[in-house]
Amino acid sequence: MDSTISQTTKPLYRGTQIVWYILGLLEIILAFRFVLKLLAANPTAGFSNFIYKVSLPFAMPFLNVFRVTKIEGNIFEWTTILGMLVYGLIAWGIVKILFMSKSVATPEAAAKLDKEE
């Protein structure tokens, strides 16, 4: 086994794990926000208030993209769904960039290039 491949594989693996873990936490927080708004949770209740405060910086870039859909006090926050999608795509892109830094043997690179043609 090539020592450069083994030296770059573990940090690459850890890096991708960290990216997916952070995305998972962010998606869970945004999902809680979405569900709490959808079910018209009391915004002054401790848990609801905490989720709204923690998720606001991540939801803010998307808040005015779509109109809010309100049905009898329940809010379907399309913008939170959009944020979850965008953050997922960003994480996917970061992982792809990390994989591009992986060492590749010349025969392996040649084989992959032949497949792309």
Is 23 a residue whose pLDDT tops 60?
yes
Question: Which candidate, 25, 33, 15, 3, places its Cα nearest to that of 105?
Answer: 3
Residue 92 CA to residue 7 CA, distance in Å, equals 23
The first and second tokens of residue 103, run together, are 């060492």
CA angle 61, 29, 31 (to 5 degrees): 85
Q: What is the mean pLDDT of the chain?
A: 88
User: Read out DSSP for 28-64?
Assistant: HHHHHHHHHHHTT--TTSHHHHHHHHHHHHHHGGGTT
For the cut 50, the answer to whether the pLDDT of residue 1 exceeds it is no
Please tell me the predicted confidence (pLDDT) of residue 5: 54
pLDDT at 12: 81
- The pTM of the full predicted model, rounded to 2 decimals, is 0.79
